[in-house]
Structure 1
Amino acid sequence: MEYASAGGARGHDDHVRHHHEIGPLDEPERASGGYKRYGVSHLVRLLRIRRLTDLGVALADVPSVESGDEKARQILRDLDAGLAADIERRQRMRRDPAAVMENRAALDMSADFGTLTDDLPEAQRSLLLAYSSILTPEAMAALREQLSEPRGDLDAEFAVLDEDAADEVRQRLAERMAPDVRRQQRDHLGLADLGSSLRRETVVAESVVVHALVEFHHCAHLDVLRRVYAILYEGETTESGSNYARE
């Protein structure tokens, strides 16, 4: 049984011609009139090739995979690892829409944060989202652990601080916040030095942090943060506010 082709089915011929050019499929002899004579063996061969390419094997790698040697096994191991990573990525993608359906606040953060950001003020959620663009996954996991801890009155007091708060009010708040910030840095070492927790260039990351702080806090907030920093690092010269991942 033979199948003849002289280019009548353009798309099919182009596809088969590509198989000839790459190498997996031998080109048949031509009959009179220029027709190629395809037999059942060619059909079987084409189906075997399609089986491998459907699994994700590159057409050029088909002969190597069929050889069954160590190179073939390595190609299949790499393919399996790639598929596993793709499945994991797609599973994460599925978790996020489900989280958004259950909790609208999850529009900001990945499903890994669950409901941890639900009761955060809008400014803090915005800051957290901005930080996610510059921090490593490990640093974001540390932030997640930090958010899972019970929140004290200081967080709420800082959030509702009046923009016209008196100097003594700001100073008292800073003095009460400083020990809490020191404890957070001790308990979450990855957040004490953001320079080791960045996935972007330092200059870019510092720009994001500074602009985010200014964008989402008013002057009284920034003044309190400067005072906290002065209490913790008095005598050191650095960019104000660069170590405050939580605020």
Structure 2
Amino acid sequence: MVWSTSQVAELAGTTLKTVRHYHRIGLLEEPDRKANGYKQYRVPHLVRLLRIRRLVDLGVPLATIAGMEVSDENAERALRELDAELAADVERKQRMREELARVLRHRALADLPPGFAADAGAAEGERSLLLLFSRVLNPAATAALRELHALPRLPIDAEFDALPADADPAVRQDLAERLAPVARRQREDFPALLDPTPHGDTTAMSVAARGLVEVYNPAQVDVLRRLDALLQGR
């Protein structure tokens, strides 16, 4: 019994286009043709197609299938590599599900980097900065920032968040001076924040600095400048 290309494709549970593609890349041998030029597929072609489809359904890339047929060693190595990739993918997706479950319990987590604790009191600007910083800080600084963010918020944090853009300079200076001991204590408790970006990465520093300027209002930025001067002893 012989079949046409469309018939053998239907029998194999695939498409005419797919069968022709297998021919083009050398995975499926071209069958004999009738006098009118139509292909004549036989049982070996169908079996070959079914074997290819079986491997494809398992996730084996087409480019790997030909190499698997060279030797049993190649086949086993390819399958073990695929198994390792699938295991890693399952683990990654499990982590994604766990993180998604956290977000469903605390919607505010959708605005925070992975691993950061939900904090309903955090202002939108702080959440935006945490997302930004998580992309430019080095791993040690990011871990320290995660620990710091998990601590209970202080009244002075809310005061800084609520500072209006037209706050009087005296108010700004007073806030900076009251923030200074808090900042010094944080530096002592989280020394990784003293060198937060990858060494020599000027782009990371500029992104972090630009983020502060654009997320906070002018009075808040001025408080941060005054605070930095106090910490530097200027």
Letter of the aligned partner of 2:109 in structure 1?
Answer: A
The CA distance in 2 between the partners of 1:152 and 1:7, in whole Å, is 72
TM-fit CA distance, 1:8: 7.9
CA contact (8 A) 1:57 1:79 kept: yes
Asked if 1:210 is matched to 2:212, the reply is no
| Shift of residue 110, structure 1, vs aligned partner | 4.3
TM-score by structure 2 length? Answer: 0.77
DSSP-derived class of the 2:2 partner? strand
When the two structures are superposed, what TM-score results if normalisation uses the length of structure 1?
A: 0.73
1:226 aligns with 2:228: no
Q: Compared with structure 1, are the counterparts of its residues 99 and 174 closer, same or farther at alpha carbon in structure 2 (3 Å cutoff)?
A: same
Question: Aligned-pair distance for 1:192?
Answer: 1.8
Counterpart in the other structure of 1:45: 48
Q: Whole-Å Cα distance in 1 between the matches of residues 2 and 219 of structure 2?
A: 83
In the alignment, which residue of structure 2 is the partner of 1:241?
A: none
How far did residue 95 of structure 1 move? 4.3
1:69-90, Cα deviation, whole Å (9 max, x unpaired): 2x44443344334333433443
Q: Report what 1:5 is aligned to.
A: 4
CA drift of 1:136 comes to: 5.1
Deviation at 1:100, TM superposition (A): 4.1
Aligned residue among 40, 57, 73 for 1:54? 57
CA drift of 1:197 comes to 7.9
Indicate the RMSD between aligned Cα atoms, in angstroms.
3.2
2:161 paired with 1:153: no
Change (3 A) 1:164 1:4: closer
User: Do the aligned partners of 1:96 and 1:111 also contact (CA within 8 Å) in 2?
Assistant: yes
2:25 maps to which residue? Answer: 22
1:122-169 deviation line (CA, Å, top 9, x unaligned): 2212222332343356543332211112333332333334542452x4
The share of aligned pairs that are identical, in percent, is 48
Which residue is 1:104 aligned to?
107
Letter in 1 for 2:159: E
Gaps of 5+ in 2: none
Could you tell me how far 1:41 is from its partner in structure 2? 2.4
Question: Which one-letter code corresponds to 1:61 in the other structure?
Answer: T
Select between 87-96 and 216-225 the one with higher mean Cα deviation.
87-96
2:175 matched residue in structure 1: 173
Query: Which of 116, 119, 122 is the aligned partner of 1:120?
Result: 122
Q: Secondary structure at the match of 2:82?
A: helix
8 Å contact 1:161–1:220 — kept in the other structure? yes
The 2-side partners of 1:101 and 1:184 are apart by 31
Sort the Cα spacing of 1:221 and 1:13 in 2 relative to 1 into closer, same or farther, 3 A.
closer
Identify the residue that residue 65 of structure 1 maps to in structure 2. 68
Task: Quote how far apart the aligned CAs of 1:233 are.
Answer: 2.4
Q: How do residues 137-148 of structure 1 correspond to structure 2 at under 5 angstroms?
A: 139-148=141-150
Separation in structure 2 between the aligned mates of residue 56 and residue 175 of structure 1, nearest angstrom? 61
Equivalent-residue separation in structure 2 for 1:125 and 1:99 (angstroms): 16
Q: Deviations over 1:52-71 (max 9, x none)?
A: 112222212112224222x4
| Contact 1:99–1:111, Cα closer than 8 Å, also in 2 | no
Going from structure 1 to structure 2, the CA distance change for 1:111 and 1:42 (only over 3 Å counts) comes to same
